[in-house]
Amino acid sequence: MESHLSPPEKKKRVFSLIQPTAMPTLGNYLGALKNWKEMSELNDCIFGVADLHALTVRPEPAVFRRQSLEIFAMLLSIGLDPEKNIVFVQSRVEQHAQLAWILNCYTQFGEASRMTQFKEKAAAHEENVNVGLFAYPVLMAADILLYNSDFVPVGEDQRQHLEITRDIAERFNQLYGRTFTVPEAYIGKVGARIMSLQDPAKKMSKSDLNPKASVSVLDEPEVILKKFKSAVTDSEACVRYAEGKDGINNLMAIYSCCTGRDFPAIEKEFEGRGYGDFKTAVAEAVIEELRPVRESYLSLMKDSGYLAACIDAGCGKARAIAAKTLAKVSKKVGLLV
């Protein structure tokens, strides 16, 4: 009997990497990582550790190796299932570096030199303005294009890099026929922009020199409570979202992300109560939000054999896709394949 059922709709491929420079903050988690698990359930997802990108700052080798393993474990800890998704380490898939060189030859010097992030980092690190830093967006383009990625979740600081990726892909496709999928920015659930607890005018950052300014996803509960109790607020002592109340607005955003309550509900909950009560409540909500992540991470880090097996399996899956793309590109440009 002939079936009239339509074939299941193919899932869209979402690709993203994270650098292993330091353990993610609460801001990284609520702004991006928390949503990766949801993405992974709805899409064909490839996530990984961008260790090649991190070489631009010349990390200390032993620390760097440990951090790369820790970030891989963190990706699993946030709920990414290595059986259902590809979770891998960038440097273990040699096609990234190989495609990056080919794409360097299809990227104009002028367009690469216009990258805002290169200008900012070059100005901040004048003692080490290396070619890798300049070519960073081309390696990022290779990362994305190797996997025929449909979507890439990017923040505002990376949007320009996605645009040059699209330009490179379109240029190559025009020269050699359709080869690359031209990726788009992933517009899904918008993560909150979490600000510093000590200076709510700037984004929470893992590089902040003030230890009270940011919360790590691995901070102990008592440390989290102490940091929130010292968070900067204002003198009004009224929990409400309003212009000029940056500290309270930030705490309300964090509480909203962790509890699912909107701002009017939060204002009603804390009506007539002081900032002390509110800060404690926010800290407790954060502690509960991060508890399963932290417990999973600590358990995984004790099982080096399992982590190594997951890395091997993930890199094997990634390499199988990347090798096909690189072979196709190599043949089109005339390399002996």
Q: Cβ neighbours of residue 253 under 8 Å, at least 6 residues apart?
A: 192, 193, 194
* Joined tokens for residue 196: 């510093």
Distance of CA 231 to the CA centre of its chain: 25
What is the Cα–Cα distance from 18 to 53, expressed in whole angstroms? 9
CA distances from 190 to 38, 41, 81 (A): 12, 16, 22
SS3 category, 151: strand
Active-site residues, by number, are 121, 203, 206
Task: Identify residue 20 by its one-letter amino acid code.
Answer: P
Separation between Cα atoms, residue 177 and residue 328, nearest integer Å: 11
| Whole-Å CA distances, 20 to 53, 60, 314, 332 | 9, 12, 17, 34
